[in-house]
């Protein structure tokens, strides 16, 4: 049995559960030195509606592959990242309270796996890179729910689980969380990096300890 009014809680990854990165994609591109003009073109092509999200995703994977990215070097590029302060304690407390937790993120499966976070969540929606036995990139699958579509993802999970939207919550940090913040029953910005998100959420959390979200997420 859950305690508090929010039964379904969704988390962003980069900048929320995991710190010392704004977006893992930016961390990867900076590490592998991919061309800035090509990166910027793809970003604006998606944001302007000229490209779909899978087109943007495929473009970025191609750039990283051409730059020599494989499992070993990708993991090396993530060595500077760390879990946000209080992340594990927050997830454990919410699970103990009977909350149903999911990930809605444009991050990568390798980030979740690096920090062994997968077992805290019932469902995980993010981008996936797959590797063959030698560690080379063999396949990739874009998330169906990033940026504008995170809102769709939260609505669809809530509908499948029979949870009213007013009993859902979302925790994120940046502009790509705005759409989902507007539809969640409770939306929280943690280490907020976007004025637009700050204006859209119900509360901007103080400090850099994710446990600051608990009083809101467990509120009666």
> In this predicted structure, what is the pLDDT of residue 3?
58
Verify that 205 and 158 share a domain, yes or no.
Answer: yes
Look at residue 1 and tell me if it is in a domain. no
Verify that 157 and 102 share a domain, yes or no.
Answer: yes
Pairing of strands 186-189, 168-172: parallel
pLDDT digits (tens, 9 = 90+) for 99-138: 999 999 999 999 999 999 999 999 999 999 999 999 999 9
Contacts 24+ apart (CB under 8 A), 140-145: 140/57, 140/58, 140/61, 142/53, 142/54, 142/57, 142/58, 143/53, 143/105, 143/106, 145/104
At residue 22 the predicted structure's pLDDT band, cuts being 50, 70 and 90, is confident
pLDDT digits (tens, 9 = 90+) for 165-218: 999 999 999 999 999 999 999 999 999 999 999 999 999 999 999 999 999 999
Whether this model's pTM surpasses 0.85:
yes
pLDDT digits (tens, 9 = 90+) for 165-177: 999 999 999 999 9
What distance in Å separates the CA atoms of residue 176 and residue 210, rounded to the nearest whole number? 19
Verify that 13 and 34 share a domain, yes or no.
Answer: no
% of the chain at pLDDT higher than 90:
94
CATH number, domain containing residue 136: 3.40.50.1000
Verify that 52 and 139 share a domain, yes or no.
Answer: no
pLDDT digits (tens, 9 = 90+) for 64-97: 999 999 999 999 999 999 999 999 999 999 999 9
As for how many domains the chain has, the answer is 2
Name the residue range of residue 92's domain.
8-20+81-217
Instruction: Work out the mean pLDDT of the chain and round it to a whole number.
Output: 95
> In this predicted structure, what is the pLDDT of residue 4?
73
């Amino acid at each position: 049995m859950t305690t508090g009014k929010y039964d379904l809680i969704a988390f962003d990854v980069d900048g929320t559960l995991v710190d010392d990165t704004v977006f893992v994609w930016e961390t990867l591109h900076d590490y592998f030195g991919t061309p800035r003009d090509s990166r910027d073109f793809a970003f604006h092509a998606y944001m302007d509606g000229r490209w779909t999200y899978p087109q943007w995703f495929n473009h970025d994977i191609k750039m990283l592959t051409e730059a020599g990215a494989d499992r070993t070097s990708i993991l090396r590029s993530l060595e500077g990242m760390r879990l946000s302060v209080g992340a594990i304690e927050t997830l454990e407390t919410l699970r103990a309270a009977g909350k149903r937790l999911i990930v809605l993120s444009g991050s990568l499966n390798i980030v979740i796996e690096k920090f062994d976070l997968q077992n805290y969540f019932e469902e995980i929606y993010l981008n996936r890179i797959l590797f063959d036995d030698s560690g080379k990139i063999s396949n990739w699958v874009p998330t169906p729910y990033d940026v504008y579509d995170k809102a769709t993802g939260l609505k669809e999970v809530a509908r499948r689980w029979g949870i009213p939207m007013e009993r859902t919550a979302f925790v994120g940090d940046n502009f790509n969380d705005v759409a989902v913040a507007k539809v969640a029953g409770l939306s929280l910005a943690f280490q907020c990096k976007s004025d637009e998100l700050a204006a859209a959420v119900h509360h901007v959390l103080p400090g850099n300890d994710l446990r600051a979200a608990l009083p809101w997420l467990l509120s009666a």
